[in-house]
Amino acid sequence: MDSRAVKAAHEAARRASLTLEAQCALAPYTSLGIGGPAAALCAVSDIEGLCRGLRHARELGVPVLLLGAGTNLLVSDEGWPGLALRLQLTGLVIDHERCTVRVAAGVKSRLLVEETIAASLAGLEFASGLPGTVGGAVAGNAGCFGGSFGDRLIRAMVVDAEGNAHSIEDPAWFHFSYRGSRLIAEGAVLAEATFALCPGDREALQSRAAELLGIRRDKHPLPGEKTAGSYFKNLPPEQPGGRRRAAGELLDAVGAKAMRVGDAIVFERHANIIVNRGAASARDVLELADQMSGAVRRTFGIVLEPEVRLVGPRPAG
C-alpha cells in the first residue's frame, strides 16, 4: 500500500475525530472473506461522525469506501487505497398508526423484516433471509421474489459525498434501477430510511417468510460458506414489464458448475454463485468470473454484467 495514501487516509480520520481500527484488513468484513487492507478503517456509529469523515476525506482527496455487511463486495487483493467506513448506525422505530418503519442504515435487513412481521406489517417479507444491512440493500436496490427495497422507501436521510446531510422526501430522488441507485452513482450515503407498509396478518406473513427462507436454504450455500450471492445480474426483460431471464440458466447451460480457479469454485447447486472454499484471492474470483462470462458470451453472444461490486484496483494482466 502506498505510504502517501495511508498517511492521507489517517489524516482524514484524525481530522474527523474517528477512531482508527487497529487492523485494517477488509477480508473479515466481507462475506467472501477476501481482500487486502484499507489505508485506514474506522467504524462510524453516528451521523455527525459520518458527515465529518466524508467532509475531511473529500478535502484531502481521500477515496471513501462505505461498508455495510460486505455481502455484495469483492475487495481487491491490493485492498482499498483510502478511508473505509464501517457503518454502524442503529435504531428502528415502527409507527403502527401510519404503518411505517424508520430504520437506520446499519440495521440488518433480516432484523427489519422480522420486526415488521412481528408488528403485523406487510411489504418487506420478500426480503426474508436477505443478508446485509438496510444501507447496502437500499444503495443496491436489493430485490428478490418480486420485491425490492426501492418499491417501499418513502423518505430518507442521506449524507452527500461532501459530508452534508439531507432529508429526502421524494423517493424519485434515488433513481432506483435494477440493483442500482443514485447513492452508488454519487458516493452518497444512506443514513436512515422510512418504508411504507400495510396492515397484514402476522401468521400469514410468518409462513410466507418461512417459505422464502426454505427456498433460500435449498438454492443458496449454507450460512458459514464464503460467498457474495449471485455474481452476475439477471438479463434485462425482452419486453417492457416482462421477467428477467436468470443469468444462472445460461451459466448452467455452459457447464459453469464444473468451473473453478484455485479455491474459488462455482457453487454445486447454483451456477451463478461463486464460493470461496478456502483461501481464494480476488484474482482467482475474477478469473473464474471471466471464464463463466466468457463461456456465456461465446455460446449465446450475451455479455453478463457483474452484480457483485469490485472494490479497489482490478489486477493487471
Residue ranges binding ligand FAD (CB under 6 A) = 31, 66-73, 87, 105, 109, 130-133, 135-137, 139-140, 142-144, 183-184, 189-190, 220, 227-229, 309
Q: Among 31, 128, 148, 230, which one carries the catalytic annotation? A: 230
Q: Among 179, 208, 281, 283, which one carries the catalytic annotation? A: 179
Contact between 191 and 107 under an 8 Å Cβ cutoff? The reply is: no
Q: Can you say how many angstroms the Cα of residue 203 is from the centroid of all Cα atoms in its chain? A: 29
CB of 269 to ligand FAD, least distance (A): 12
Closest to ligand FAD by CB, 5 or 134: 134
CB of 25 to ligand FAD, least distance (A): 15
CB of 69 to ligand FAD, least distance (A): 4
Q: How far apart are CA 158 and CA 100, in angstroms?
A: 18
- Sign of dihedral through CA atoms 35, 41, 43, 44? negative
Closest to ligand FAD by CB, 204 or 213: 213
Q: What is the DSSP string of the chain?
A: --HHHHHHHHHHHHHTTPPBPS--B-GGGSTT----BEEEEEEE-SHHHHHHHHHHHHHHT--EEEESS-TTEEE-TT-EEEEEEEE----EEEETTTTEEEEETTSBHHHHHHHHHHTTEES-GGGTT--SBHHHHHHTT-EETTEEGGGTEEEEEEE-TTS-EEEE--GGGG--BTTB-HHHHHT-EEEEEEEE-EE--HHHHHHHHHHHHHHHHHHSPPTTSEEEEESBPPPPPSSTT-PPPPHHHHHHHTTGGG-EETTEEE-TT-TTEEEE-SS--HHHHHHHHHHHHHHHHHHH-----BSSEEESPPPP-
Catalytic site includes residue 305: no
Catalytic site includes residue 307: yes
Q: C-alpha grid cell for residue 71?
A: 455481502
Closest to ligand FAD by CB, 39 or 183: 183
Closest to ligand FAD by CB, 142 or 292: 142
Catalytic site includes residue 249: no
Q: How far apart are CA 19 and CA 44, in angstroms?
A: 9
> What are the residue numbers of the active site?
179, 230, 307
